[in-house]
């Protein structure tokens, strides 16, 4: 368990009288600071009267029919390429790095117009994940309504839903001081995933709002990795090879985990075949569509070769820093990402803090590949006159810190 600091009930008083301490005279005009700091320790909030008790996790004992295909029309195709409707209310916008991650200030997600929502979808499609701070107006009903604008909401077959009824399409993330640390159960690469890619129509636009979490510096960050950028890391020969392959995505591991805990699997687990390289309908960019958590095999090639590709893609996603973004949450912050083009991973190390968040995910189109589509790097380099990236190891320079 990580060390923690209980917040003091009173602040120390400082005397204005000179005092002798260790050979230094503390004069009246010497500035006193009321800053209390312990390295690696953060204040742990108490929750005797928890305002989100009705949104804590429950595992309903119900059974659902298999999912059927539903129409999907990506709202991002109607968004303004310069995002002018969305940014008309913004006070600041900045990218975390060139490949992925953008934060916008001044936007109230609960009060967006339809044209602003369309711009938001286009921005998420372009940047992978977009962050919004302090969205106090976006309660669960508003978050759900915003998700429904983008399409049919996904209902998870095994994970927790809120205690409050009628919210089966809300996924609850919840850990408190009584929860066991599960770090030893998973490898770090396995924790990276894209949500429910085993479905026939895996999610697109997905929002996660943190209701309760560690104070700043207390851990519990989330990381995202761009699969546009993973595609661009590959050599032209590898890109071409993977464009002809399909991967199997399986729900069986999640189902087996729920059964082992004595919980109901609300919908029969499925195994679905998806292209390993897909095209995004809004940007037209190619991306790898690979999931370290759910991909079990690659079809039509020897097992040893499939395992090598799986290992290689795992390594690119989880260890290539320039394609990743890391977000340090505060209460009421929202991340909005596109599961079609991002993998993400939670991080451990926030015990004994309570961490409570709600996720809403929209079902998207069946993954497809258009051989005439371009890569993100190809289009952006042409747009801004940037040099072609060397992929053969030539012309290297030492840029290490």
| CATH code of 183's domain | 3.60.130.10
pLDDT exceeds cutoff 60 at 312: yes
Beta strands at 285-288 and 374-375: parallel, antiparallel or unpaired? parallel
Burial class of residue 14 in the structure, from the number of CB atoms within 10 Å of its CB (0-12 exposed, 13-18 middle, 19+ buried): exposed
Which of the two residues, 37 and 182, has the higher pLDDT score? Answer: 37
Going from the C-alpha of 395 to that of each of 165, 366, 389, the distances in angstroms are 60, 41, 10
**Please, which residues bridge with residue 355 across strands?**
175
From the CA atom positions of the chain, what is the Rg in Å?
A: 24
Structure tokens at 264: 């109901």
Alpha carbons 203 and 230: distance in angstroms, whole number: 19
Residue 171 located in a structural domain: yes
In this structure, is residue 355 part of a structural domain? yes
Residue 282: strand, helix, or coil: coil
pLDDT at 21: 42
241 domain-assigned: yes
Task: Kindly state whether residue 188 falls inside one of the protein's structural domains.
Answer: yes
- Residue in the block written with tokens 């004595």: 262
Q: Are 299 and 242 in contact (CB under 8 A)?
A: no
Give the per-residue pLDDT at 8.
34
Q: What is the mean pLDDT of residues 192-207?
A: 97
Ramachandran angles phi, psi of 337, nearest 5°: -130, 170
Residue with tokens 């929502």: 117
* pTM, rounded to two decimals: 0.90
Q: What is the predicted pLDDT for the residue at 211?
A: 98
- Would residue 177 count as lying in a domain? yes
Angle, CA of 150, 154 and 156, to the nearest 5°:
155
Residue 210 domain-assigned (yes or no)? yes
**Domain count of the fold of the chain:** 1
Checking if the pLDDT of 247 tops 60, the result is yes
Q: How much is the mean pLDDT over the chain?
A: 91
Q: Helix-strand-coil percent breakdown of the chain, rounded to 5?
A: 25, 25, 55
130 has a pLDDT exceeding 80:
yes
Q: Which single residue is written with the structure tokens 């070769």?
A: 305
Q: How far is C-alpha 315 from the chain's CA centre?
A: 18
Task: Give the pLDDT confidence score for residue 196 in this predicted structure.
Answer: 97
Mean pLDDT, residues 218-243 taken together: 97
The residue assigned the tokens 């009824």 is: 165
Would you say residue 327 lies in a domain? yes
Q: Are 322 and 97 in contact (CB under 8 A)?
A: yes
Which pLDDT value is given to residue 2?
33
The whole-number pLDDT of residue 394 equals: 75
Over range 362-386, report the average pLDDT: 96
pLDDT of 16 > 80? The answer is no
Cα 119 from chain centroid (whole Å): 20
Greatest CA span in the chain, whole angstroms?
82
Q: How far apart are CA 149 and CA 101, in angstroms?
A: 22
Asked if residues 58 and 159 have their Cβ atoms less than 8 Å apart, the reply is no
Tens digits of per-residue pLDDT, 38-88? Answer: 898 898 999 989 999 999 999 999 999 999 999 999 999 999 999 999 999
Confidence of residue 395 (pLDDT cuts 50, 70, 90): low
pLDDT at 399 over 90: no
pLDDT at 103: 98
In whole angstroms, give the CA distance from residue 307 to residue 315. 12
Q: How far is CA 96 from CA 103, 130, 326, in A?
A: 8, 10, 9
Cβ burial of 328 (10 Å; 0-12, 13-18, 19+) is middle
Which of 1-5, 257-261, 299-303 tops mean pLDDT?
Answer: 299-303
Whether 343 is covered by a domain: the verdict is: yes
Mean pLDDT of 150-163: 97
Determine the pLDDT at residue 229: 98
Q: Range of 64's domain? A: 53-78+128-383
Q: N- to C-terminal Cα distance for the chain?
A: 33
Q: Which of 124-128, 228-232, 271-275, 346-350 has the lowest mean pLDDT?
A: 346-350
Dist CA 357 CA 376 (whole Å): 31
**Is 285:76 a contact under the CB 8 Å cutoff?**
no
Confidence of residue 396 (pLDDT cuts 50, 70, 90): low
Instruction: Using the predicted structure, report yes or no on whether residue 397 has a pLDDT greater than 80.
Output: no
Q: Could you give the angle at the alpha carbon of 349 between the alpha carbons of 345 and 352, nearest 5°?
A: 125
The SS3 assignment for 26 reads strand
Nearest C-alpha neighbor of 347 from the set 209, 221, 196, 199: 221
């Amino acid at each position: 368990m990580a060390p923690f600091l209980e917040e003091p009930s009173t602040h120390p008083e400082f005397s204005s009288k000179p005092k002798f301490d260790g050979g230094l005279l503390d004069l009246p005009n010497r500035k006193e600071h009321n800053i209390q700091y312990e390295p690696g320790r953060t204040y742990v909030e108490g929750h005797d009267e928890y305002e989100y008790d009705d949104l804590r996790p429950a595992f309903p004992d119900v059974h659902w029919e298999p999912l059927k295909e539903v129409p999907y029309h990506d709202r991002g195709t109607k968004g303004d390429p310069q995002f002018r409707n969305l940014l008309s209310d913004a006070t600041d916008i900045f990218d975390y790095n060139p490949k992925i991650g953008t934060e916008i200030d001044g936007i109230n997600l609960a009060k967006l117009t339809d044209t602003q929502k369309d711009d938001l979808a286009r921005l998420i499609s372009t940047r992978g994940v977009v962050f919004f701070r302090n969205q106090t107006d976006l309660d669960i009903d508003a978050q759900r309504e915003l998700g429904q604008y983008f399409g049919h909401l996904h209902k998870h077959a095994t994970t927790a839903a809120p205690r409050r009824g009628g919210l089966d399409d809300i996924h609850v993330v919840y850990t408190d001081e009584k929860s066991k640390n599960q770090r030893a159960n998973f490898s770090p690469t396995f924790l990276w995933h894209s949500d429910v890619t085993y479905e026939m129509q895996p999610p697109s636009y997905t929002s996660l709002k943190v209701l309760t979490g560690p104070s700043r510096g207390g851990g519990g960050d989330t990381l995202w990795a761009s699969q546009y950028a993973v595609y661009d890391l590959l050599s032209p020969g590898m890109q071409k090879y993977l464009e002809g392959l399909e991967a199997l995505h399986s729900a069986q591991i999640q189902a087996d985990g729920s059964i082992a805990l004595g919980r109901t699997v609300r919908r029969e687990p499925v195994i679905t075949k998806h292209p390993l390289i897909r095209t995004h309908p809004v940007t037209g960019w190619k991306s790898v569509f690979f999931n370290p958590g759910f991909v079990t095999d690659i079809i039509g090639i020897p097992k040893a070769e499939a395992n090598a590709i799986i290992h290689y893609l795992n390594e690119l996603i989880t260890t290539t820093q320039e394609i990743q973004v890391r977000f340090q949450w505060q209460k009421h912050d929202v991340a909005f990402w596109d599961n079609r083009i991002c993998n993400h991973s939670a991080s451990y190390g926030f015990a004994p803090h309570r961490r409570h968040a709600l996720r809403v995910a929209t079902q998207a189109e069946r993954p497809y590949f258009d051989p005439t589509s371009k890569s993100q790097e190809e289009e952006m380099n042409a747009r801004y006159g940037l040099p072609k990236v060397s992929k053969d190891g030539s012309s290297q320079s030492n840029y290490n810190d």
